[in-house]
Amino acid sequence: MSKHDTIHPGLNLGEHHGAAHDKAEIGAFGFWIFLMSDLIIFGLMFALYVTMQNPMGQAGGPGPKELFDLTSALIQTMLLLVSSLSFGLASLALRHHRSRAELTFWLALTLLLGLAFLSFEARDFAAMFAADAGPSRSGFLSAFFGLVPLHGLHVASGCLWLLIMLIQIRTLGLSDLVKSRLLKLGLFWHFLDIVWIGIFSIVYLGGLA
Amino acid sequence: MTPYSSDHRAEVRHYLVGFALALTLTALPFGLVAWGGVARIWVLAIVAGCAIIQTVVHLRYFLHLDLSRQKREDVLLILFSTLILSIMAGGTIWIVFNLAGRM
């Protein structure tokens, strides 16, 4: 295989990045292994959630129709989807050697969208707690609070990682190491959006249908 | 502002196509649930169908997964994880619903 080939799934830096392009290979493959193990955890939380979707699991407590707000779910979905696009545009700015200001702009926009997503999610959880629908209320709610905040926690760590990368771009410049970290963060961010497809389809739309 | 290269513009278009597809596949199930009027079983089937297609769209347009160009082990890793997951998650749901049905 020549070094001009695509070497790993996800956006490649491209051959005009020289050593950084080649070095990204093993790191990106390792990161895919992490993502896939994370996928298994999410998948089993989904399975647990689905098994709790019945009167026994709800234990006389409130169900999806009393608790979930479709508008808020739609807003969160849109925020994450747009943040996926803005991260994609950041990756392209990196790949095509655009100015550091342009890269920083798209990354900062992604960070803001991620934080907006988290604030809407936190607002929903607060409303649920206020309605006495915390995780200890029923098996259904335990499964809900095991699944959806787990995704939120991932988004929060993604935001922290974005913040760290914004600082590293300023302090370390666009070194090979920083580029390779940005590629992995991109994989992580797009992966979280895929997990969210499962959450809005199974939890919110499945619950409100 | 330096002009964008034609490669760059083509790749931005690629992302925008993926974004438009994802937007449509999100709007359709949300609209269906919001406006109702369709039998629940059909709503669930369409939501599930859109979710699967949207996942493929995200993998294709945002994560650049492409069966033809990748190194085999990466694709194998993803396919094998999906297989393991469907056995574990599908098996769990099957067994627990079976038990619930017998209670």
| Res B1 pLDDT > 70 | no
CA torsion sign for A116, A122, A128, A134 is positive
Query: Which residues of A, range 79-98, sit inside 8 Å of B by Cβ?
Result: 81, 84-85, 88-89, 92, 95-96, 98
Q: Does B70 touch chain A (CB under 8 A)?
A: yes
A172 neighbors A16 (Cβ within 8 angstroms): no
Q: To 10 degrees, the CA torsion angle through B28, B34, B35, B38?
A: 70
Phi-psi region of A97 (alpha: psi -120 to 50; beta: other; left: phi over 0): left
Question: Shortest Cα distance from A140 to chain B (angstroms)?
Answer: 14
Q: What is the structure's pLDDT at A3?
A: 40
Asked if the C-beta of B17 comes within 8 angstroms of chain A's C-beta atoms, the answer is no
Q: What is the mean pLDDT of residues A109-125?
A: 98
Residue A51 sits at the chain B interface (C-beta within 8 Å): yes
Residue of A nearest to B96 (CA): A51
Contact of A103 with A169, CB cutoff 8 Å: yes
Give me the pLDDT at residue A170, please: 95
pLDDT band at A14 (very low <50, low <70, confident <90, very high): confident
Among A11-25, A58-72, A107-121, A125-139, the least confident range? A11-25
Cα separation of A122 and A114, whole Å?
12
pLDDT in tens, A86-96: 999 999 999 99
- Quick one: pLDDT at residue A57? 87
Q: What is the ipTM of this complex?
A: 0.91
Whether B94 and chain A come into contact, CB under 8 Å, resolves to: no
Closest to A43 (Cα-Cα) out of B76, B23, B91, B58: B91
CA distance A161 to A182: 9
Instruction: Give tens-digit pLDDT for B38-97.
Output: 899 999 999 999 999 999 999 989 988 877 655 667 778 888 999 999 999 999 999 998
Higher pLDDT, A13 or B57: B57
User: pLDDT of A139-168, one tens digit each?
Assistant: 999 999 999 999 999 999 999 999 999 999
| All residues at 6 or more sequence positions from A134 whose CB lies less than 8 Å from its CB, including other chains | A128, A141, A145
Structure-token match 């830096």, residue found:
A13
Contact across the interface for B51 and A43, Cβ inside 8 Å: no
Q: What is the pTM of this model?
A: 0.91
- B22-26 contacts: CB < 8 A, separation 24 or more? B22/A81, B22/A84, B22/B54, B22/B57, B22/B58, B22/B61, B23/A81, B25/B50, B25/B53, B25/B54, B25/B57, B26/A77, B26/A78, B26/A81, B26/A200, B26/B50, B26/B54
* pLDDT higher than 80, residue A11: no
| Average pLDDT for A44-67 | 91
Least confident piece of the model among A22-26, A86-90, A191-195, B69-73: B69-73
Long-range Cβ pairs for the range B80-84 (8 Å, 24+): B81/A36, B81/A37, B81/A39, B81/A40, B82/A39, B84/A40
Whether pLDDT at A206 is above 80: yes
Residues in chain A closer than 8 A to B41 (CB atoms): none
Distance from first CA to last CA of chain B, Å, rounded? Answer: 69
* Cβ-nearest to B12 among A92, A99, A193: A92
The confidence score (pLDDT) of residue B73 equals 72
Question: Mean pLDDT, to the nearest integer, of B2-24?
Answer: 92
B96 interfaces chain A, CB cutoff of 8 Å? yes
Output the pLDDT for position B21.
97
Q: Within an 8 Å CB–CB cutoff, is residue A150 touching chain B? A: no
**Residue A153 burial (CB count, 10 A):** 11
The pLDDT, as a whole number, for residue A2 is 37
CB atoms within 10 A of CB A102: 17
Cα dihedral A70, A76, A79, A82, rounded to 10, equals -70
Q: How would residue A189 be classed by pLDDT, with cut points 50, 70 and 90?
A: very high
* pLDDT at residue A8, as a whole number: 63
Name which residue leads in pLDDT, B103 or B8. Answer: B8
Average pLDDT in the A124-148 region?
95
Structural domain boundaries of chain A? 17-208
Cβ contact A9–B43 (<8 Å): no
Q: Distance between CA atoms of B58 and A192, rounded to whole angstroms? A: 11
Per-residue confidence (pLDDT) for residue B69, from 0 to 100: 59
Q: What is the distance in angstroms between the Cα of A106 and the nearest Cα belonging to chain B?
A: 13
Domain borders along chain B are 1-65, 68-103
Please give the CATH superfamily to which domain A17-208 belongs: Cytochrome c oxidase, subunit III, four-helix bundle (1.20.120.80)
Q: Can you list the alpha helix ranges (DSSP code H) found in chain A?
A: 19-51, 55-58, 64-67, 70-95, 100-130, 139-171, 176-198, 206-208
Question: DSSP letters of A68-92?
Answer: --HHHHHHHHHHHHHHHHHHHHHHH
How far does CA A28 lie from the centroid of its chain? Answer: 17
